Amino acid sequence: VYYKPGDWQRQVISDENEGVVHGIYIYDWDGDGRDDVMTASFSGIHVHSFDNGWQRTEITRGYPGEWPQAGSSDLAVGNAGSRYVASIEPWHGHQVVVYQDDNRLVIDDTIHQGHTITTADLNNDGLDEIIAGDRGDAQSVFVYYREEDGWLKTVLDDGDMSAATCISADLNNDNLNDVACIGRTTENLKWYENLGGE
């Protein structure tokens, strides 16, 4: 659903997604100058575009399991030479997945209960990193850097952040993107200030 300013009545975008719709990401997927609504659910990742009505397009079915261990839990769009979609799979799953140029690449299958994912250029190299939160036993936040031969996993927080949501923005106006996360079972909110470097 969405709400239109001036007409605060709930309007349905689509009722086609099946199961839990866990992730929503706003991005101009088709490059028409108008934001689209991207969703992550039991049935995968979809783009909802408006052009005289809403149309739903499948990007991927995500993890091919049985509900509720299917599809995708959260998504973000980034750029690493070309556009990619980063995803937590399946729902509250154990995989960090990158979809780029019609390929599915699992870059990590060791997280316990992935709950949030976002992208940002953290080192000002023109390539977006992936930030993923594990709210399970690890209660950790990880950053994945694009390298020539794959993705390098680093630890941003080891054991003190059961990340329900993470965002990235330049919080102190120093031209470096920072990360902020809110923890569910750890009951905390943290700002990870970017001090530069890797």
Q: What is the pLDDT of residues 31-52, one digit of tens each?
A: 999 999 999 999 999 999 998 8
Q: What is the pLDDT of residue 133?
A: 97
Q: CA-to-CA distance for 165 and 167, rounded, in angstroms?
A: 7
First to last CA, the chain: 39
Q: What is the pLDDT of residue 198?
A: 57
- Token pair 């190299």 is found at 125
Q: Do residues 152 and 142 lie in contact, with contact meaning Cβ atoms separated by under 8 Å?
A: no
Give whole-number Cα distances, 10 to 5, 6, 17, 110, 141, in Å.
11, 12, 17, 39, 35
Q: Do residues 171 and 180 lie in contact, with contact meaning Cβ atoms separated by under 8 Å?
A: yes
The torsion angle over the Cα atoms of residues 152, 94, 39 and 37, rounded to 10 degrees, is: -20
Segment-wise mean pLDDT, segments of 10 residues, the chain, 198 residues: 77 81 94 95 94 92 90 96 96 95 94 96 97 93 95 97 97 98 96 87
